[in-house]
Amino acid sequence: MNSKWFGWMSGPNSKAFAAPVIIIMMLSMMVLPLPAFVLDVFFSFNIALSIIVLLTSLYTIKPLDFLAFPTVLLVSTMLRLSLNVASTRVVLTEGHTGPDAAGKVIEAFGHFLIGGNYTVGIVVFIILTIINFTVVTKGAGRIAEVGARFALDAMPGKQLAIDADLNAGLIGEPEARRRRTEVAQEAEFYGAMDGASKYVRGDAVAGIIVTVINIVGGLIVGLVQHDMAFADALKNYTLLAIGDGLVAQIPSLIISTAAGVVVSRVANDVDIGTQLINQLFAKPQVLYITAAIVGGMGVIPGMPHVAFLLLGAGLAWAGYAASKRQAAGPVAEPEPVVTSAPVESEEATWQDIVPVDTLGLEVGYRLIPLVDKTQNGELLKRIKGIRKKFAQEVGFLSPPVHIRDNLELKPSSYRISLKGVEVGSGEAHAGQFLAINPGMVTGTLPGAPTTDPAFGLPAVWIEAGMRDQAQAMGYTVVDAGTVVATHLNHLITTHAAELLGRQEVQQLLDHLAKESPKLVEDLVPKTISISTLQKVLQNLLMEGVHIRDMRTVIECLAEHASQTQEPNELTALVRIALGRAIVQQIFPGTNELSVMTLDNRLERLLMQALQASGPDGTGIEPGLADTLTYQTQQATQHQEQLGLTPVLLVPAPLRALLSRFLRRVLPQLKVLSHAELPDSKTIKVTSLVGGQA
């Protein structure tokens, strides 16, 4: 049993015990009192660990070679804080016995390094803390923050480059998978470094506070509990506190320097030491000029001649050695020849013209995980579902959505474009939920108030933990991906007519020709042109009529196209043929149609205006137009208050005119003609438009 246990612990599984052992060790130091000898061991280990981390960072080729660095940064910080807690306990309980009460390491730092002078110790400690807090850690944190931003911004481009190499056959699937993993790890590394650097800054602040507490607390303990003289208590506890602070701050400064080295270096094929030597001392001109300046300073009266002249001589010798290396071999410098040739032939070509995407979605960098394949972006799946549902319901396949990141957008913003023009925008906060108020909620929620980008309803962004509470209060709660997907679906449905291009119409005909080839062949292009068919279908989509039943559309056009080629007249005839489907779409599952109708007097006035102005209705008298708009708005509001779909039933000649006229002010209003209603339906008039005119 024991031999098996020892073998298992000494095998590969023993590495898995490192993290739990360190965590237990740190917790023990915070809770259990430690003798001075154990403190010496742990302080020595902390110093050794910081040196190991610094040297590892110096010999690291790429940041990803030290992928565990953010975790090391966190663990080393927690280790120093645990040691602070343990040493504080010993300093306050045993500090009256002398400067070696907390171990030899603290005594050495508090006595030998600062000469036993606590004033000098305080100054040195403050200087080290300021350097660590305001210079090294702050700079490394800023570099990590910018690196994380750039890594996230560059991720989609790198992913596309990998996909392009894979599609071109330049790399295989395993290599592509390895590169994708490396790109994701790079973004995660810089993001983790951005957060981990905050621990080091907090550690510097904690070091100052702990030192002050040790001094003040030690004075109180020494004066009150041990009846020490003020001067003795001040000297003992200040030396111990400063020694303790220096023992923690020096490893902290080393670790911070290592963090700055890791995040500030540019990836190369050599370690940082070789890179510095090769680049700093590679140009003999620089070394010769520096040697002359330093040597000139050495001959100035009053200057330390020996130091400056020796340094100048050393730099001159380094310049001579560098010039000999350059003269020995111009080994590999064919780059200029390679790069200069293509520049001359870079003429403008038709390939420089980039076609405009029919549908585009641009996202800020914080929304990139929603559309990233490697991170299982949920929005990509939702967009596929949107296009499939749109095709099944509306009747044609919408163009694909081209997704890209845009640095000009706010981090959590997105923008939806149609043929290169923005048609919608909004904000979605990844990791949070949008609680939408449908009008029947029982309370308010804390969070950032906003409006639902798709339908304009009042809403609030809430944290994930409040989701159940929001649902219990009557809110409709959706995640960030659903917000963008719903907005995109709404805009695609609203602009369906603009999405139906000539290519989509041809694809519709090709699809229908597989089942009814003769029907399609007799209509297009023999009877009507494809452009006329496209205009008829766009007219239907503009009023929200689905075109799934293409067989009925084609048959109706084939029957009447010989009599007229006017798209609006053909649209009216097709609507009559699709009447049952239109009514079913507006009034699903009911035989009673609650509608609004026109007052007889208003109807006669409109018929007269139609005859005078023609089918476009441009000659409607302004007063009549204002009355019609106002009365229809009142009736529509009444219908919506009753929970009914606002539908206006009018004579067939007026339908197209009123639909075009009222569409801009009342997009939710549906205008039907009497000819479009099936005989099996019962009509119930709930509102009269123009009854007060």
Give the pLDDT confidence of 650-677 residue by residue, as tens digits: 999 999 989 988 988 898 999 999 999 9
Length, in residues, of the chain:
693
What is the pLDDT, as a whole number, of residue 243?
A: 73
Distances (CA, A) of 47 to 55, 111, 131, 193: 13, 18, 18, 21
Least confident of 290-294, 551-555, 576-580, 590-594: 290-294
Task: Place 339 in a pLDDT band, splitting at 50, 70 and 90.
Answer: very low
pLDDT digits (tens, 9 = 90+) for 554-572: 999 999 998 999 999 999 9
More confident residue, 319 or 15: 319
Task: Tell me the average pLDDT across 49-53.
Answer: 83
For the chain, what is the mean pLDDT?
80
Residues 326/287, Cβ–Cβ less than 8 Å: no
Task: Tell me the average pLDDT across 251-269.
Answer: 70
More confident residue, 122 or 289: 289
Task: Place 538 in a pLDDT band, splitting at 50, 70 and 90.
Answer: very high
Q: Is 440 exposed, middle or buried (0-12, 13-18, 19+ CB in 10 A)?
A: exposed
More confident residue, 303 or 573: 573
What is the pLDDT, as a whole number, of residue 269?
A: 56
What is the pLDDT, as a whole number, of residue 104?
A: 67
DSSP H helical ranges for 113-172: 118-130, 138-167
- Total Cβ atoms within 10 A of residue 653: 14
- Total Cβ atoms within 10 A of residue 172: 11
What is the pLDDT, as a whole number, of residue 109?
A: 67
Say yes or no to pLDDT of 213 above 50: yes
Say yes or no to pLDDT of 349 above 60: yes
CA atoms within 13 A on the CB side of 318: 20
pTM above 0.75, yes or no: no
Helix (H, G, I), strand (E, B) or coil at 594: strand
Say yes or no to pLDDT of 576 above 70: yes
What is the pLDDT, as a whole number, of residue 1?
A: 46
More confident residue, 386 or 301: 386
Task: Tell me the average pLDDT across 574-582.
Answer: 95
pLDDT digits (tens, 9 = 90+) for 404-423: 988 889 999 999 999 999 99
The answer to whether the bond into 525 is cis (omega within 30° of 0) is yes
Task: Place 350 in a pLDDT band, splitting at 50, 70 and 90.
Answer: confident
More confident residue, 269 or 448: 448
Residues 278/78, Cβ–Cβ less than 8 Å: no
Main-chain dihedrals φ then ψ at residue 79, nearest 5 degrees? -65, -45
Handedness of CA 62, 66, 71, 76 (dihedral sign): negative
Secondary structure letter of residue 397 according to DSSP: P
What is the C-alpha separation between 136 and 96, in angstroms, rounded?
36
Least confident of 153-162, 539-548, 646-655, 657-666: 153-162
Say yes or no to pLDDT of 377 above 90: no
What is the pLDDT, as a whole number, of residue 169?
A: 64
pLDDT digits (tens, 9 = 90+) for 3-27: 444 454 455 555 666 667 777 777 7
Residues 370/378, Cβ–Cβ less than 8 Å: yes
Say yes or no to pLDDT of 202 above 60: yes
Task: Place 338 in a pLDDT band, splitting at 50, 70 and 90.
Answer: very low
Share of the chain above pLDDT 70, in %: 81
Say yes or no to pLDDT of 519 above 60: yes
What is the C-alpha end-to-end distance of the chain, expressed in Å? 100
What is the C-alpha separation between 110 and 87, in angstroms, rounded?
13
Helix (H, G, I), strand (E, B) or coil at 597: strand
